[in-house]
């Protein structure tokens, strides 16, 4: 459960993505091995409506293919290499389905599932993901987050006891999310951009009974500053560095 994790919770952002290709089983397994408290992953639907774990809607950055995730089926996506671009030694890593991540990591580590359907806000991603969570009985091992408020409202109806985090973009968009949009959602945690975090923001969130999980914190100075500001958690591409910086002994690697 979220409330029983250490504070601040160190979320391995897209897995241990400083050391392994993001959003792959290699990066999630590494995060577990390094002793991260939780992993964060991004998920969206592919052409045959299966939730796959990838950040960008377009496949070019990760696989070199000039197509969109939603144009290819899971079987077609599985033919693409999602590791070679990061380092030749990761050649052969694949884009995982959410089901595979649940099979490999479920119940081993807490998972923040980011619903990435901002450009298709009314698709069936919440229903499909909720069914998978039920199937794997992971209700107490996960939380959801999204920049898409509709996705959060829909997932809350399906899984009312699973915490949700409202992602707030940088700058003005973030301001609107935190103030205006935030009034329509009973979210458990605010997920602000690092540059928007201040003593006031943390105090306000806590006064309103919200947790605060900050993204993306990769520099040791920022990690220490977040801890001293008393945030409840932060996302980092380098969970091992975060553990070391916060003197949270790690005996797993
Ligand atoms: O959940 C924190 C972070 O993942 C949000 O931004 O673009 O990395 O998914 P992004
Ligand atoms: Mg994300």
Tell me how far apart the alpha carbons of residues 185 and 177 are, in angstroms, rounded to a whole number.
10
Tell me how far apart the alpha carbons of residues 238 and 219 are, in angstroms, rounded to a whole number.
9
Surrounding residues of ion ligand 2, Cβ less than 5 A: 42, 114
Whether 46 and 70 have beta carbons less than 8 Å apart is answered as: yes
Q: Which ligand is nearest to the CA of 214?
A: 1
Q: Which of 69, 83, 88, 84 is nearest to 29 (CA)?
A: 83
Residue 185 placed within a domain? yes
How confident is the model over 127-182, as pLDDT tens digits?
999 999 999 999 999 999 999 999 999 999 999 999 999 999 998 888 787 777 77
Give residue 234's Cα distance to chain centre.
Answer: 11
Tell me how far apart the alpha carbons of residues 209 and 161 are, in angstroms, rounded to a whole number.
16
Tell me how far apart the alpha carbons of residues 52 and 60 are, in angstroms, rounded to a whole number.
16
Residue 112 Cα: closest atom of ligand 1: 1
pLDDT of res. 165: 97
Catalytic residues: 13, 55
3 state SS of 2: helix
Residue 252 placed within a domain? no
Residue 136 placed within a domain? yes
How confident is the model over 14-73, as pLDDT tens digits?
999 999 999 999 999 999 999 999 999 999 999 999 999 999 999 999 999 999 999 999
Residue 250 placed within a domain? no
Residue 202 placed within a domain? yes
Residue 166 placed within a domain? yes
Ligand 1 atom 5: the closest Cα is on which residue?
A: 215
3 state SS of 95: coil
* Count of the separate structural domains present in the chain: 1
Pocket of ligand 1 (CB under 6 A): 13, 40, 42, 55, 114, 145, 167, 191, 215, 235
Tell me how far apart the alpha carbons of residues 82 and 63 are, in angstroms, rounded to a whole number.
5
Q: Which CATH number belongs to the domain containing residue 165 in this structure?
A: 3.20.20.190
Domain range for 134 is: 6-245
- What pTM did the predictor assign? 0.96
b/e per residue 32-64 (b: at least 16 CB within 10 A): bebbbbbbbbbbbbbbeebbbbbbbeebeebbe
Run of H or E residues at 190: strand 189-191
């Amino acid at each position: 459960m979220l409330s029983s994790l250490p504070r601040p919770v160190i979320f391995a952002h897209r897995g241990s993505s400083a050391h392994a290709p993001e959003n792959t089983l290699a990066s999630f397994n590494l995060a577990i091995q390094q002793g991260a408290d939780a992993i964060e992953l991004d998920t969206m639907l592919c052409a045959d409506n299966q939730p796959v774990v990838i950040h960008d809607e377009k496949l070019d950055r990760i696989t070199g293919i000039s197509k969109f995730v939603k144009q290819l089926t899971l079987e077609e996506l599985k033919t693409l290499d999602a590791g070679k671009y990061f380092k030749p030694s990761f050649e052969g890593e694949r884009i995982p389905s959410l089901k595979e991540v649940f099979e490999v990591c479920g119940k081993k580590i807490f998972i923040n599932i980011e619903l990435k359907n901002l450009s298709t806000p009314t698709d069936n991603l919440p229903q499909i993901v909720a069914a998978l969570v039920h199937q794997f009985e992971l209700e107490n091992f996960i939380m959801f987050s999204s920049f898409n408020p509709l996705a959060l409202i829909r997932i809350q109806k399906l899984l009312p006891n699973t915490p949700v985090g409202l992602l707030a973009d940088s700058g003005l968009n973030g301001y609107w999310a935190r103030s205006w949009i935030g009034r329509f959602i009973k979210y458990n945690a605010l997920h602000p951009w690092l540059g928007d975090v201040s003593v006031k923001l943390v105090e306000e969130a806590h006064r309103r009974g919200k947790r605060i999980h900050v993204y993306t914190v990769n520099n040791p100075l920022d990690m220490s500053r977040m801890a001293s500001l008393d945030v409840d958690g932060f996302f980092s591409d380098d969970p091992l560095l975060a553990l070391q910086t916060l003197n949270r002994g790690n005996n797993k690697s």
